[in-house]
Structure 1
Amino acid sequence: MMWGSGGHGGGGMGGGLGGGRNSWRLRELAQNERFEWNIIRRALQSLVPYWPHAIATTVLLVLTSGATVIPASLTQRIIDDGIGKGNFHTILWLTTLLIGVSLVNGLLGVLQTWLGNIIAQNVMADYRLAIFRHIQAQTIRFFTTRQAGDLVSRVMNDVTAIQNVITTTLMGLVNNLLLIAFTTALMFSMNWRLSILALLVVPGFVLPTQRVGRARQRLQGRIQETLASMTVHLSEVFGVSGALLVRIFQRERAEETRFADTNQSLRDLQVRQTVIGRWLFMWLGMFSNIGPALLWGYGGWLVIHHRTSIGAIVAFTTLLSRLYGPLSQLAQLHVSVLSSIALFRRIFALLDIAPEVVDGPIALPSKDNAARIALSDVTYAYPLATEDGIRRNVLSGVSLTIESGQTVALVGPSGAGKSTLINLMLRFFDPDSGVVEIDGVDARSLQLSSLRSQMGLVPQDPFFFHDTVHQNLLYAKPDATESEIEDACKAAQIHETILRLPDGYHTVVGERGYRLSGGERQRLAIARVMLQGPRVVLLDEATSALDTLVERQIQSALAVLLEGRTAIVIAHRLSTILAADKIVVLNRGRVVATGDHESLLRTSPLYRQLYEAQFSEP
């Protein structure tokens, strides 16, 4: 009104802005509703593989709902035709029929619950497998930007909650709708006036659910996030590395406080969610009592004036519980549906992350000879490696050829791009530009399984599962014989060490192999690659944790491993790569020199600087 009274452009502008804000809100609401319907539709699609079970469950729900309202009709006949007329025979067979209907209804309910849980458990298993498979398809970068505990929470906590969605929310929705339909139909067939009176309080069941549902939906999302945070914290603190760090810096009390805070937040959120629900239930309970009161008042007047029977009033009162009960549960289910949307949104958000590396169509043929690797003008930048908002290249225009059977060493200061080159060869990620070729084939066209099966990696910090030495070695070659395992360990100078363990090859190495020393872990990792028998061997600081004596012992083992294979070796300790066929010097993502040890000492200032830094000390 104030804007309009001015009579100038301001009035039009004010109206336009107001209309724009309102239309924007309407569009936002419409988009949210479409988004939520998309989530619901996508969630329901998970039931399609189990349509026979779903149809059988629906049939049982129809039979159960029909059988649920039959006792009200039988009760009316018992009162009017049996008690009212003094006919005991009618009372006897009607009560027998009433007991039979209740028994059949109970049996149908058991069968319905069984089928519903079969569907729920299968859907949960499908989601767990789908999420696990999808996470497995992600690149290493995916895992560097996410916490393992959060991913575990998605697989376990979020998926486990699906059971309640199917068995309680979905089946309850169908069951209550059928009960309302059957009950309403029977009520109107008995007395339409009393039916209308009973339905007058229905809006009181429906109106408050929307607001409560939205509030509980938001709380459900926060609860799942808090559970994920708690899982992340526990997985970090209870892991060996985390446990060591906590004790080294005496942070036990701080971690306890941190967990207590998260635990208290989870408690408060769950209490708030319960309290919000109880306010709704109080409202629904109040209206559940108003209906019967109106019915007894008006029904009593009808009985007094001989317009209906006492049996009809009793039957109507029985039916009201069949009507208001499902309406009350339906209102609660509406709240549960909105909460379920938050749950599925978290699951689908993870499943919708597209893998950065896509499997190629070509299988790299398995050959006896070593592979040839060629990099042509390769450039790569990590998404988070930014400088003034601009992505900084880790590799820039790198061209390099590694001939079949050749041993090439990569040297350079930290951050020069050595490990990134190895990651590109393994297709842990693909270059932003340029080509990596294996035997003349673009690596992006190769099947990941065939590519990686022919490449063996010994990382700087090898990982081992909390299992036996034997099982950790079989991870490289599941069908390996005992003789093959022992030969690989002998070649890696680790066999005698394993025999001295409490249970030999069946000794559990502990989480990440922490029961072994650093040198033992690296020698065991070399044995694992030897057992794999790849065409290409990638050594990333493979001898960095070995003392001089063990390093000398393992050089002969590495010579056996690298014989007849293409090898790419990264080493800061230049003594380990002096015998390489070619040494490539990297600096700031570029190849700055190539040659053998003697020529690089003469021609490459950076290489000479790296060499002197190690060997000029006393």
Structure 2
Amino acid sequence: MSEQLSASQVTGEVVADLKPDKKIAILFELIQFISPYKGHILAAFIALIFTAAVMLSVGQGVRMLIDEGFAQQSIEQLQQAVLFILAITVLIAGGTFARFYLVSWLGERVSADIRLAVFNHVITLHPSYFETNGSGDIMSRITTDTTLLQSIIGSSFSMAIRSALMLIGALVMLFATNIKLTLIVLLSVPFILVPILFYGRKVRKLSRKSQDSMADVGSYAGEAIEHIKTVQSYTHEQHERHAFGEEVEKAFQIGRSRIKQRATLIAGVIIIVFGAITGMLWVGGSDVIQGTMSGGDLGAFVFYAILVASSLATISEVLGELQRAAGATERLIEILQVESHILPPVKNTIAAKNLNAEISFQQVSFNYPSRPDQAATQTLNLTAKQGKVLALVGPSGAGKTTLFELLQRFYDPQAGKITLGGTDIRQLDPKDLRQQMALVPQQPALFSSDVFHNIRYGKPEASDEEVIAAAKKAHAHEFISQLPEGYNSFLGERGVRLSGGQRQRIAIARAILKDPHILLLDEATSALDSESEHHVQQALEELMRGRTTIIIAHRLSTIKHADHIAVLDQGQLVDIGDHQSLLQTCDLYQRLVELQFKQVIASV
């Protein structure tokens, strides 16, 4: 799959700068996904040629039926003609079965490969990409767009090839049957091409808009459902219905315009083609009456002319589908062309597990890509010593969470460096670096699966016994055992079936199972009741033992036990020390203590 991804790494500007009448060329990007299945393609192509050739033989059966059966009033000749047509029908059915199966299989396989390639690429992208690209839009590309391509590759594309073969073969047979009538049919071709080219361009533009509007619909619905409790709490159901209705109506209007253009295209082609056939029937019928042409030849000619007409109609319809496919392919290729800003070093990679767990921020300055004029950190110097606990305190926007994201190399600073054991983390493979860390956030991320899966996420190869041991250390084993199916209990989306304290202990068990050198805690007890806090605090003490720990602190109990407390404000280090010394020397710390920990201090 990596070969497929690398093959698609052309610049995004190339796609953006394509002229509208050339954008369909982007479909050639699909070749990299289709080419691994050359055997299936060859077999499908053979079935296509066989079916087309046999279909063309039906015209000769029609000629035999009229000239040798009807004209000569011969039952024997009629029987032979009917048996010939019947045999041809059986062969057509067999060839169609093979073609349909092979091409449909190819469509399913290629769409699955594209879906996998896009997903595999998306999960490696830097977080800043998701600041400007919504998850709903990305999911629409992975699901809706790949499903559309599946239809195109597995059906429309083979119809186009079959129709093209039938068109060429039928034209040859037309010339062989009657040159004069063939020229009449061919006079209509330029009139067919004009609407195809004119309306095709409009269909292409509307197809891209249609795909984008459907992504907006999915994104809006997903967001409303994700925050359903907030929606209902504020009684915004009617507002959300109205807003979602507007999004759906917008998508419908775009889809209606696209359908109208396609319908106009198809109707125009049909009128022109069958108008030409009608004219041909007048001329041909006159020739039969005058005796210059047999009725069988005219019957065969009409059959081939209908094949030409239906092939042209199918091709014009498929061209409309290909316009939609071009829009879908463009959206998918855009994702595959995005290059991650966080890459492992090309050479001289250092193994992170061999470094000691001392972390140092040296003159670090960083601005988020979405806020380039607002500094998240400014020339920050800070060290977390190996095996010690460093607490980060400060008002909202001080840069506490930013340090976690920089340390995990979700972003790289614009200036300065971050070191692990004295080595710049940019010299480490990001995966190797993150393997040495475990994050326990305020709102832990649980997956729609069972307890085993959620804890084992910290160490996928762990045995059931190791998972249970980690749960016991996290003080989670007791409540897990009381769940309906124990460790096999399904937790619902985002662990909705558990309380806040239970979700925290599952996340802590995951971190314990990972057994990291560095622990990052975004105060896991700040939103819990007293009983839950007690259990989680016990679990955290077990987890923190002997590890380098950095805590975004909100509670006095956490701060008082930290070896060092760093006070941050507007991305800068204001002061550092222990609790007692900062109470004496740091005005900001004193104010934070008074505001955030006033009730706790009063009870001490």
TM-score (norm 1): 0.88
Report the counterpart of residue 581 of structure 2 in structure 1.
Answer: 599
Distance 1:45 1:555, change over 3 A: closer
Q: Deviations over 1:132-152 (max 9, x none)?
A: 111101223333433322222
Report the counterpart of residue 518 of structure 1 in structure 2.
Answer: 500
* Aligned mates of 2:356, 2:438 — CA distance in 1: 12
Which residue, 44, 66, 72 being the options, matches 1:79? 66
Q: Is 1:559 equivalent to 2:541 in the alignment?
A: yes
User: Aligned residues, how many?
Assistant: 584
SS in 2 for 1:161: helix
Q: Is 1:317 equivalent to 2:302 in the alignment?
A: yes
One-letter amino acid matched to 1:128:
R
Native 8 Å contact 2:196 2:316 kept in 1: yes
Q: Is 1:406 equivalent to 2:388 in the alignment?
A: yes
Report the counterpart of residue 378 of structure 1 in structure 2.
Answer: 364
Q: CA offset at residue 86 of structure 1?
A: 4.8
Which residue, 100, 115, 134 being the options, matches 2:87? 100
Which residue, 399, 406, 414 being the options, matches 1:424? 406
Report the counterpart of residue 511 of structure 2 in structure 1.
Answer: 529
Distance 1:513 1:144, change over 3 A: farther
Native 8 Å contact 1:427 1:448 kept in 2: yes
SS in 2 for 1:50: helix
* Aligned mates of 2:429, 2:376 — CA distance in 1: 26
Distance 1:288 1:454, change over 3 A: same
Report the counterpart of residue 145 of structure 2 in structure 1.
Answer: 158
TM-score (norm 2): 0.90
Q: Is 1:193 equivalent to 2:175 in the alignment?
A: no
One-letter amino acid matched to 2:160:
L
Which residue, 284, 289, 293 being the options, matches 1:308? 293
Q: Is 1:448 equivalent to 2:435 in the alignment?
A: no
Deviation larger for 468-477 or 504-513: 504-513
* Aligned mates of 2:237, 2:468 — CA distance in 1: 42
Deviation larger for 348-357 or 414-423: 348-357
One-letter amino acid matched to 2:362:
S
SS in 2 for 1:409: strand
Q: Deviations over 1:87-131 (max 9, x none)?
A: 544443333222111210111011100000111001110111011
Native 8 Å contact 1:437 1:443 kept in 2: yes
Q: Which residues of 2 match residues 41-190 of structure 1 at below 5 A?
A: 41-190=28-177
Q: Deviations over 1:334-369 (max 9, x none)?
A: 2222222112122222222222212345363535x8
Which residue, 325, 342, 350 being the options, matches 2:335? 350
Q: Deviations over 1:303-334 (max 9, x none)?
A: 34432222111111111101111011112222
Q: CA offset at residue 33 of structure 1?
A: 5.1
Report the counterpart of residue 16 of structure 1 in structure 2.
Answer: none
Distance 1:553 1:72, change over 3 A: closer
SS in 2 for 1:593: strand
* Aligned mates of 1:255, 1:30 — CA distance in 2: 37
One-letter amino acid matched to 2:453:
Q
SS in 1 for 2:380: strand
* Aligned mates of 1:460, 1:35 — CA distance in 2: 50
SS in 2 for 1:366: helix
* Aligned mates of 1:616, 1:609 — CA distance in 2: 10
* Aligned mates of 1:306, 1:591 — CA distance in 2: 103
Deviation larger for 330-339 or 244-253: 330-339
Native 8 Å contact 2:274 2:309 kept in 1: no
Distance 1:365 1:147, change over 3 A: closer
Report the counterpart of residue 479 of structure 2 in structure 1.
Answer: 497
Distance 1:579 1:31, change over 3 A: closer
One-letter amino acid matched to 1:422:
F
Which ranges of structure 2 fall in alignment gaps of 5 or more residues?
A: 1-14
Q: CA offset at residue 502 of structure 1?
A: 4.2
One-letter amino acid matched to 2:401:
S
Report the counterpart of residue 265 of structure 2 in structure 1.
Answer: 280
* Aligned mates of 2:528, 2:279 — CA distance in 1: 88
Which residue, 420, 428, 440 being the options, matches 1:438? 420
- Root mean square deviation, CA, Å: 2.5
* Aligned mates of 1:471, 1:214 — CA distance in 2: 49
Q: Is 1:219 equivalent to 2:201 in the alignment?
A: no
Report the counterpart of residue 21 of structure 1 in structure 2.
Answer: none
One-letter amino acid matched to 1:146:
N
Distance 1:491 1:296, change over 3 A: closer
Q: Is 1:590 equivalent to 2:575 in the alignment?
A: no
Native 8 Å contact 1:363 1:451 kept in 2: no
* Aligned mates of 2:197, 2:361 — CA distance in 1: 60
Which ranges of structure 1 fall in alignment gaps of 5 or more residues?
A: 1-27
Report the counterpart of residue 18 of structure 1 in structure 2.
Answer: none
* Aligned mates of 1:365, 1:406 — CA distance in 2: 19
* Aligned mates of 1:610, 1:210 — CA distance in 2: 69
* Aligned mates of 1:203, 1:397 — CA distance in 2: 69
Distance 1:105 1:603, change over 3 A: same
* Aligned mates of 1:101, 1:85 — CA distance in 2: 23
SS in 1 for 2:375: coil
Q: CA offset at residue 479 of structure 1?
A: 3.4
* Aligned mates of 2:310, 2:168 — CA distance in 1: 13
Report the counterpart of residue 6 of structure 1 in structure 2.
Answer: none
* Aligned mates of 1:450, 1:444 — CA distance in 2: 11
One-letter amino acid matched to 2:379:
G
One-letter amino acid matched to 1:300:
G
Deviation larger for 29-38 or 587-596: 29-38
* Aligned mates of 1:579, 1:266 — CA distance in 2: 56
Q: CA offset at residue 55 of structure 1?
A: 1.6
Native 8 Å contact 1:213 1:336 kept in 2: no
Distance 1:203 1:168, change over 3 A: farther
Report the counterpart of residue 6 of structure 2 in structure 1.
Answer: none
Distance 1:82 1:555, change over 3 A: closer
Q: CA offset at residue 37 of structure 1?
A: 4.8
Q: Deviations over 1:518-554 (max 9, x none)?
A: 2332233222211211111111112212345554554
Q: Deviations over 1:148-198 (max 9, x none)?
A: 222221111111011221133321221111111111111112221121122
* Aligned mates of 1:593, 1:97 — CA distance in 2: 96
* Aligned mates of 1:433, 1:274 — CA distance in 2: 53
Q: CA offset at residue 204 of structure 1?
A: 2.6
Distance 1:123 1:615, change over 3 A: closer
Q: CA offset at residue 248 of structure 1?
A: 0.5
One-letter amino acid matched to 2:93:
G
Native 8 Å contact 2:474 2:505 kept in 1: yes
Percent pairwise identity: 31
Native 8 Å contact 1:370 1:565 kept in 2: no
One-letter amino acid matched to 1:374:
S
SS in 2 for 1:577: helix
Native 8 Å contact 1:377 1:434 kept in 2: yes
Deviation larger for 414-423 or 443-452: 443-452
Deviation larger for 401-410 or 322-331: 401-410
Report the counterpart of residue 256 of structure 2 in structure 1.
Answer: 271
* Aligned mates of 2:65, 2:529 — CA distance in 1: 95
* Aligned mates of 1:228, 1:275 — CA distance in 2: 21
Which residue, 301, 312, 316 being the options, matches 1:327? 312
Native 8 Å contact 1:292 1:320 kept in 2: yes
Distance 1:100 1:456, change over 3 A: same
Report the counterpart of residue 7 of structure 2 in structure 1.
Answer: none
Report the counterpart of residue 448 of structure 2 in structure 1.
Answer: 466
Native 8 Å contact 1:210 1:335 kept in 2: no
* Aligned mates of 2:595, 2:316 — CA distance in 1: 75
SS in 2 for 1:461: coil
